[in-house]
Amino acid sequence: MVFPHAGGAAAAYRSLAGALAAGGPDTFVMQYPQRADRLAHPAPDTVEELAAQLFDAGDWDRVGPLRLFGHCMGAVIAFEFARVGERRGVPVAQLWVSASQAPCTIAGSPRLPTADTEVIATMVDLGGTDPRLLADEEFVELLVRAVRADYQAFNRYACGEDVRIRADIHTIGGRSDHRVSEDMLRRWQIHTDGAFTLSLFDGGHFYINDHIDAVAELVNAA
């Protein structure tokens, strides 16, 4: 199961989902409210509420031990999804964290911007969005709407250092990511009672776009 980044739609992870499914079990990509076919769906107030809604949308106990993959904010949503699953008796085997700070560090971090111009500037800084799309006013309007909803939920999030899941946590990042460093990825280790690994690829925050097959191979080999 793949959890997109803030503002990201499921379609952006179609290639990764296909690569994961080619070498492993069926792969589902989550679609958050306020985008694509869920444009009219109201945005949850919190990350925890979003994770619970996503969990309630499927019969995950029929899928078998779950393997979750989240990029950036998607990793935190996946972490909360795993907590819901473990509380409800649905086994979660692995959480794959891509380019994300640890849950316990979020409350103490600077708040994410929600003003239009600041949201756009952040998207440009992070990369991962085709510059040609940023010249499309209609696309930018929809993107800002989705990102703002996600950022508002993220800004309300808090998690203690003592909160852990039983699932193994595997972190992945880009060596030149100026937003999420190797040390930030390592902080995830305190959130698992299972195994922990860290892997780095060449590239920045959206390193994954250049290493889809390699990332899928790493995940499927675990």
What is the C-alpha separation between 20 and 27, in angstroms, rounded?
A: 7
Contact 164, 190 (CB under 8 A): yes
Condensed to tens digits (0 to 9), the pLDDT of residues 151-196 reads 999 999 999 999 999 999 999 999 999 999 999 999 999 999 999 9
Helices (H), the chain: 14-22, 47-56, 73-87, 103-106, 116-126, 137-155, 182-186, 212-221
d(CA 64, CA 3): 18
> Which residues form the domain of 144?
2-221
CATH code of residue 61: 3.40.50.1820
pLDDT for residue 24: 75
Q: How many domains does the chain have?
A: 1
Rounded to two decimals, what is the model's pTM? 0.95
Q: What is the pLDDT of residues 91-141, one digit of tens each?
A: 999 999 999 999 999 999 999 999 999 998 988 888 877 777 777 888 889
> At residue 214, does pLDDT exceed 80?
yes
